[in-house]
Amino acid sequence: MIALPTGVEAVVFDCDGLLVDTESCWTVAETAVFAAHGHAFGPEQKALVIGRTLEDAGEAMARYLGRPGAGAELAAELLGRVRKELSRGAPALPGAAELVRACRAAVPIAVASNSPRELLDAALRSAGLAEYVTHSFAADEVRSPKPAPDLYITACETLGTAPEHTVAFEDSATGIASARAAGLFVAVVPSLPGVELDHDWLAGSLTDPDVRNWARQLGRGAA
């Protein structure tokens, strides 16, 4: 496995399941949607929707539930349930706040999320991260969200950095594909256990000592 590069120009983070523990909110909502349509929800079903936009999740659920043409309806149902869960609060994941602050002190940072702006802002506020994130980009603000590269390309352009000199932190296959297509170095902390994911660097948590040491060295060394 390649070591995290220290001479980077910027860092771009995913949000859900990477910085903020919103996946539990999504799982509660997804479980309720599946149950309402007579289906159980487990790891197989979670793999169908994790990292997707609301629209893509709705279409994936429609196919799985045998309800062609119901994607928009299911997406709207999911949004309502996620909104309700997020209103109860979602904490930052272990190590997330410390990593964001350390990176921000050294290089420009941004958040690129496949959630719509409404949910992205709610998640960052709930986790106490909004004050550290000057630039954030949501799925409903680009032509093509993840797995297309648009979110990461937009983030790099806004930060004035080259993708090849930028690190992306991701947790899902959809987000990884987006960062990879945009040309960023891909650091991965999976939100689903036991799933093999493409990566340049891999850890089980943002509390990994390698992450902390890397953040302290940002801006000091050559790539």
The structure tokens 């523990």 sit at 21
pLDDT higher than 70, residue 212: yes
pLDDT, tens digit, 9 for 90 and up, residues 110-136? 999 999 999 999 999 999 999 999 999
Quick one: 204 exposed, middle or buried, by C-beta within 10 A (0-12, 13-18, 19+)? exposed
Which CATH code for domain 10-21+90-217?
3.40.50.1000
Q: How many helices (H) and strands (E) does the chain have?
A: 9, 6
Return all residues near 134 (Cβ < 8 A) that are at least 6 apart. Answer: 109, 110
- Torsion angle of alpha carbons 136, 107, 18, 183, nearest 10°? 80
Tell whether the model's pLDDT for residue 145 goes beyond 80.
Answer: yes
Which one has a higher pLDDT value, 199 or 194?
199
Give, for 186, the enclosing helix (H) or strand (E): strand 185-188
The torsion defined by the Cα of 105, 116, 146 and 42, in degrees rounded to 10, comes to: 110
- What are the boundaries of each domain within the chain? 10-21+90-217, 23-86
pTM over 0.85: yes
Q: Which SS3 state, helix, strand or coil, does residue 169 take? A: strand
Provide the β-strand partners of residue 23. none
- Written out in words, the top-level CATH class of the domain with range 23-86 is mainly alpha
**Residue that has been written with the tokens 């990884």 in this structure:** 176
